[in-house]
Amino acid sequence: MRKKTNNAHFAAGSTTLVASGTHVMGDVHFAGNLEVEGQITGNIVAEEGVDARVRILPKGCVVGDVNVPVVVINGRIEGNIYSSHQVELAANAVVEGDLHYALIEIEKGAQVNGSFLHRPSGQPPQPAMTENDAEAGVEGLGS
């Protein structure tokens, strides 16, 4: 039997918790660690150039895009994931969106309804522009 090692380290800095029963409406910008037991309706964005990690716990839910270097999911995300380092999908993970990643780990039972798009490590994945964004001259989240 293979012994699992936890490669998804804690990021340096403080930890922010969105507790069970809490519903945050709007984008969340952070550095360090973000633990989600409640719900976030909005995008989650790590501050540029910092070590950051988000962990979606079993009852946690995000409705929006996630742009964080290390993403650990054991809950639900309805949106695209943009990770410049690692994505870990635990057994209860449900993702409705595309995964942009450098490294990925998937446990048996995880569900993804979207595409897997590999990016070389160290190259920050950029959210794709929609036709409406291109016509309006709007750039993606990571710009």
Whole-angstrom distance, CA of residue 125 vs CA of residue 121: 9
- Could you tell me the pTM of the whole model? 0.79
Which pLDDT score, from 0 to 100, does residue 126 have?
57
The residues, any chain, with a CB within 8 Å of residue 77's CB and separated by 6 or more, are 56, 61, 62, 66, 94, 95, 96, 97
User: Going residue by residue through the chain (143 aa), what tens digit of pLDDT does each one get?
Assistant: 444 445 456 656 789 999 999 999 999 999 999 999 999 999 999 998 888 999 999 999 999 999 999 999 999 999 999 999 999 999 999 999 999 999 999 999 999 999 999 988 765 555 554 444 545 444 444 43
- Rounded distance between C-alpha atoms, residue 72 and residue 43, angstroms: 16
Question: What radius of gyration, in Å, describes the C-alpha atoms of the chain?
Answer: 15
What is the spatial order of strands in the sheet that 103-106 belongs to? 15-18, 32-36, 52-56, 70-73, 86-89, 103-106
